[in-house]
Structure 1
Amino acid sequence: MQPIFDFFFDQYYGVPTHLLILELIGVLFGFLSVIYSKNNNILVYPTGIISTAVFVYILTVYELLGDMMINAYYFSMSIYGWYIWTRKVDATHFTPITNTTRKENWQALFIFLGTLIFVFIIYEYFEKWNNWTAYIDTFTTAIFFVGMWQMAKKKIENWIFWIIGDLISVPLYFYKGLTFTAIQYFVFTIIAIYGYRAWKRDLRNDLRPA
């Protein structure tokens, strides 16, 4: 048991206590945010804002610039999504879950490619191409930017991007020494699968004639 514990948590040796505590807080509120998202609950946004604010700081310290920008973007998009989710489309109904349109698919592609270029420029400017994780970080940043944009607009396809990005992030964060965060993304993957199924069921019910 001890060798297994050491394998996962020796990476925290010498890490300042405040960073460990902040990571645990960020993970906790991250879990709450994803669970609320799965349940189509507006609390996804206030809990997400707390989590992303914490991780902006942590990821800056660990020099994961792409993921730091992801969380800064999440923070701003959470405010936007909070507004969209509370906006009524008529007297009694709030913004519903829908599929992406052809136009929105092109917009998603533009966001993905634009994010790749932007993060590449950031890494190039700060000369941070010193590890293979930088290339993975650039790719996951683009995936998550699209996922967050689609979630804010209540598009069911957002879960597909979350699942792909979460799966890639598990080994990335473990390699960088953020074991709790790696575990968080593993659980996120499972929740995202259930979230996709739940939203698909809700979408099917919404489309069913009254």
Structure 2
Amino acid sequence: MQPIFDFFFSQYSDYPLLFIILEIVAVIFGFLSVWYSKQNNILVYPTGIVSTLIFVYLLWQWQLLGDMMINAYYFSMSIYGWYIWTRKVDATHFTPITSTTKKEQITSVFIFIGTLIFVFGVYEYFDKWNNWTAYVDTVTTAIFFVGMWLMAKRKIENWIYWIIGDIISVPLYFYKGLTFTSLQYLVFTIIAIYGYRAWKKNLRNDLRPA
């Protein structure tokens, strides 16, 4: 039992207790945020804001710049998404779940490519190409940037990006020594699959004639 425990959590032996507590709190609020997103509940944003703010601080301390930028972007997009989700499209209806339009698909491609270029520039400027994880960081950042933008606009395709990014992040964060965060992304993957199915059912119901 002890070797298994050491395998998963020995990296925390050198971490300040405050960092461990903050990571656990951020993970809990991250779980809540993704769960509320699956439920199509506006609480996805306040819980997400708490989680991302904590992770921005922790990731800055750990010098994980790509991950830090993802969470800083999540924070800003959470404010934008909170507004979109509460905005009424008419006198009685709020912004509904929809599929991406051709224009939004093109915009997603531009966001993905633009993010790749931006993160590459940041890593180049700070000379952080010292590990293969930096290259994976660049790709996952781009994936999550698109996913967060689509979620804010209540597009069902956001779940596809989350699923792909979460699957990549599970081994990535474990390799970085962030076991709790790695487990978080494992659960995120499962919730995202169910989230996609729930939103798809919701979308079908909305498309049915009254």
- Name the TM-score, length of structure 2 as normaliser: 0.99
1:122-165 per-position Cα deviation (integer Å, ceiling 9, x unaligned): 00000000000000000000000000000000000000000000
Q: CA deviation at 1:63?
A: 1.6
Distance, in Å, in 2 between the alignment partners of 1:62 and 1:102 is 39
Superposition RMSD on alpha carbons, in Å?
0.5
Report what 1:54 is aligned to: 54
Matches within 5 A, 1:112-191: 112-191=112-191
Distance, in Å, in 2 between the alignment partners of 1:103 and 1:189 is 27
**Are 1:22 and 2:22 an aligned pair?**
yes
1:28-57 per-position Cα deviation (integer Å, ceiling 9, x unaligned): 000000000000000000000000000001
Report what 1:31 is aligned to: 31
Report what 2:43 is aligned to: 43
SS in 2 for 1:13: helix
1:93-131 per-position Cα deviation (integer Å, ceiling 9, x unaligned): 100000000000000000000000000000000000000
**Are 1:73 and 2:57 an aligned pair?**
no
Q: Which amino acid aligns with 1:26?
A: A
Distance, in Å, in 2 between the alignment partners of 1:160 and 1:59 is 25
Distance, in Å, in 1 between the alignment partners of 2:26 and 2:160 is 23
1:43-97 per-position Cα deviation (integer Å, ceiling 9, x unaligned): 0000000000000011111221111001000000000000000000111110000
Unaligned runs of 5+ in 1: none
SS in 1 for 2:14: coil
Distance, in Å, in 2 between the alignment partners of 1:62 and 1:205 is 45
Q: How many residues align?
A: 210
Distance, in Å, in 2 between the alignment partners of 1:65 and 1:159 is 24
Distance, in Å, in 2 between the alignment partners of 1:14 and 1:113 is 37
**Are 1:83 and 2:99 an aligned pair?**
no
Report what 2:93 is aligned to: 93
Unaligned runs of 5+ in 2: none
Distance, in Å, in 2 between the alignment partners of 1:62 and 1:112 is 25
* Runs of 4+ that moved beyond 4 A: none
- Name the TM-score, length of structure 1 as normaliser: 0.99
Identity across aligned pairs (percent)?
A: 79
SS in 2 for 1:190: helix
